[in-house]
Structure 1
Amino acid sequence: MGLKEMFLLLFLLISLSINGNAVEGRGSISLSKEEDLEIERLLEIINKPAVKTIEDGHGQTFSCVDIDKQPAFDHPLLMNHKIQMGPGSLPKVIKDKKASSLGMSLNIGLKNGGCPLGTVPIRRIKKEDLLRAKSSPNFGKRYHSNAQGPDPANFHFALQSTLTGKAYGSRAVLNIWQPKIIGNQNSASLVILLDGSPLDEIRSIHAGWVVSNGLYNNFLPHLSTAWTNDDHRKTGCYDVLCPGFVQVSRDLPVGIGLSPSSIYNGTQYYMIITVYKDPVNQDWWLLYGDDRKQVGYWPKALFNSTFADHADILQWGGIVYNAGIKPWPEMGSGHMPSDDQQYRKACYIGGMRILFKQGDSIPVNDGTPSDMIRSSPSCYGAWVDQVVPGEDYAILLGGPGGNNC
Structure 2
Amino acid sequence: LQNNYGDIYDCVDFYKQPAFDHPLLKNHTFHFQMKPTSLPKRSRDQVSSNVSKPLNIGLKGGGCPVGTVPIRRTTKEDLIREKLASKIMTPADDTGGADYAIVETIDGPNKYSGASAVLSVYQPDVVGKQYSAGRMMIQNGPDSLQVGWRVDPSLFGDARTRLFIYTNAGQSHCFNTNCPGFVIVDTEIPLGQVIEKVSIRGGTSL
TM-score by length of 2: 0.85
Which of these residues, 146, 159, 164, is aligned with residue 219 of structure 1? 159
Within 5 A, what are the aligned runs for 1:247-396?
247-269=184-206
Query: Does residue 65 of the first structure (1) align with residue 17 of the second (2)?
Result: no
Which of these residues, 135, 160, 174, is aligned with residue 84 of structure 2? 135
Structure 2 residue aligned with 1:121: 70
Q: Secondary structure at the match of 1:130?
A: helix
Structure 2 residue aligned with 1:356: none
Structure 2 residue aligned with 1:161: 102
How many Å separate the matches in 2 of 1:214 and 1:77?
A: 32
User: Contact (CA 8 Å) 2:81, 2:154: kept in 1 or not?
Assistant: yes
Structure 2 residues without counterparts, runs of 5 or longer: none
Moved more, 221-230 or 97-106: 97-106
Query: Does residue 76 of the first structure (1) align with residue 26 of the second (2)?
Result: no
Deviation at 1:62, TM superposition (A): 0.7
Q: 1:249 to 1:162 in 2, by over 3 A?
A: closer
How many Å separate the matches in 1 of 2:90 and 2:54?
A: 25
Which has the higher relative contact order, 1 or 2, with Cα contacts under 8 A spaced 6 or more apart? 2
Which of these residues, 119, 123, 137, is aligned with residue 174 of structure 1? 119
Deviation at 1:60, TM superposition (A): 1.3
Structure 2 residue aligned with 1:318: none
Within 5 A, what are the aligned runs for 1:201-220?
202-220=142-160
How many Å separate the matches in 2 of 1:189 and 1:92?
A: 20
What one-letter code is carried by the residue in structure 2 that aligns with 1:158? Answer: D
- More strand per residue: 1 or 2? 1
How many Å separate the matches in 1 of 2:154 and 2:85?
A: 6
Within 5 A, what are the aligned runs for 1:9-88?
54-84=1-31, 85-87=33-35
Deviation at 1:139, TM superposition (A): 4.2
User: Contact (CA 8 Å) 2:40, 2:116: kept in 1 or not?
Assistant: no
Runs of 4+ in 1 over 4 A off after TM superposition: none
Q: 1:100 to 1:58 in 2, by over 3 A?
A: farther
Q: How many residues align?
A: 199
Deviation at 1:117, TM superposition (A): 2.2
CA RMSD after TM alignment: 2.3
